[in-house]
Amino acid sequence: HAKYRVAVIGSGNWGSVASRLIASNTAKLPSFYDEVRMWVFEEILPTGKKLSESINEENENCKYLPGIKLGANVIADPNLESAVKDANMLVFVTPHQFVEGICKKLIGKLRPGAEAISLIKGMEVKMEGPCMISKLIADTLGINCCVLMGANIANEIAVEMFSEATIGYRKDKEVANRWAKLFTTPYFLVSVAEDIEGVELCGTLKNIVAIAAGLVDGLDMGNNTKAAIMRIGLREMRAFSKLLFPSVRDNTFFESCGVADLITTCLGGRNRRVAEAFARNGGKRSFDELEAEMLHGQKLQGVSTAREVYEVLTYRGWQELFPLLSTVHEICIGQLPPTSIVEYSEHTPNLS
């Protein structure tokens, strides 16, 4: 029987937790080699030590996941090429803005027959139009790439609180089931859906809605307002996804990757938190500044995703169909004040 070797590309907050989760399974399941190589974007800590060395000495990522042991079979590797060289299952989990550069460095370096999965929430916009991250990985490296998205605030999964996730795949269910086996634990239940675009767009677009929810919090509006923003956001997510990919299924929005991720991110995510601070400052301090101050190296995805989606909307003449998605971007760049998030709704067209 084939035996699988896993490498994780990324070691931020979710990257570290995903490595820990996967390593707990590879240590137990005979079809996987125990060791999980985790590629670390090297940095020097305030102590003068390299992050990768610190992870290997302490079995802990003191910068992005302090206080949590990763498992003795997680090995940090700052060298991208050596981290992936023996692996035939590659887990991509970096902020979406870095993935293209990483993929270019990986061309010609992968083991033949390697499979990938992306845990990355985001998209790229090219001259030819929008490109989902899993497609970017698949096309750049010539490999199959599934996605895993869900209501998965990393710090909660790190301490093994129950959650669910959705794997999106195209055609090959056997491969999707292998990924599900790698990720499933008693506290992390994974289902599979043959709707890769739908699953990935859910994970990507909800970050924009989470910015809107954070603005509502920062304006001290109530729960009803926030729920309204989430409902309108979900409708725009579904409409936008279906316009881009008519194959996207309604059912996907009822999986963990859909409404559940939207809820948890709008209640407890980083996008929400930084957007709340942005609104409390009346939009006078930029998202970049607040991100650097509040997140200590962790990255927001919602602000850049709002810009990317806005490019698609303006290019295709769809802006009027998506007032919430458009307004979030216009607030982020300072073109509109934060209060506009609750002022646009009279213009909301009927999307159903």
Phi-psi region at 171: left, alpha or beta (left = phi > 0; alpha = psi -120 to 50): left
| Cβ atoms within 10 Å, residue 342 | 16
Residue 271 contacts which entry, ligand 13P, ligand NAD, none (Cβ below 5-8 A, type-dependent): ligand 13P
Per-residue binding string, ligand 13P, 142-181, x by CB under 6 A, is: ---------xxx----------------------------
The answer to whether 119 contacts ligand NAD (rule: CB under 6 A) is yes
119 binds, among ligand NAD, ligand 13P, none (CB under 5 to 8 A by kind): ligand NAD
DSSP state of 35: E
Examine residue 187 and tell whether it contacts ligand NAD (CB under 6 A).
no
Is 109 one of the catalytic residues? no
Kindly tell me which of 37 and 121 has the beta carbon lying closer to ligand NAD: 121
Place of tokens 């809107």: 212
In the chain, DSSP assigns E strands to 4-9, 32-39, 74-77, 89-92, 115-118, 123-126, 129-132, 145-149, 163-168, 188-193
**Dihedral pair phi/psi, residue 177, rounded to 5°:** -65, -35
Which one, 15 or 323, has the nearer CB to ligand NAD? 15
CA dist., res. 36 & res. 83, Å (int): 9
Residues 6 or more apart whose CB falls under 8 angstroms from that of 118 comprise 92, 93, 99, 133, 134, 137, 145, 146, 147, 148, 200
Instruction: Name which position in 52, 271, 304, 305 contacts ligand 13P (CB under 6 A).
Output: 271
Using rule CB under 6 A, residue 152 touches ligand NAD: yes
Catalytic residue among 63, 121, 135, 206, which?
A: 206
CB of 54 to ligand 13P, least distance (A): 24
Q: Is 15 in the site for ligand NAD (CB under 6 A)?
A: yes
How many amino acids of this chain bind ligand NAD (CB under 6 A)?
Answer: 24
CA angle 269, 274, 276 (to 5 degrees): 95
Binding mask 5-44 for ligand 13P (x = CB under 6 A): ----------------------------------------
| 217 lies in the binding site for ligand 13P (CB under 6 A) | no
Which of helix, strand or coil describes residue 8?
Answer: strand
Site for ligand 13P in 66-125 (CB under 6 A): 121
List residues bridging with 10 in a β-sheet: none
Residues forming contacts to ligand NAD in the complex (CB under 6 A) are: 10-15, 41, 64, 93-96, 98, 119-122, 152-154, 297-299, 301
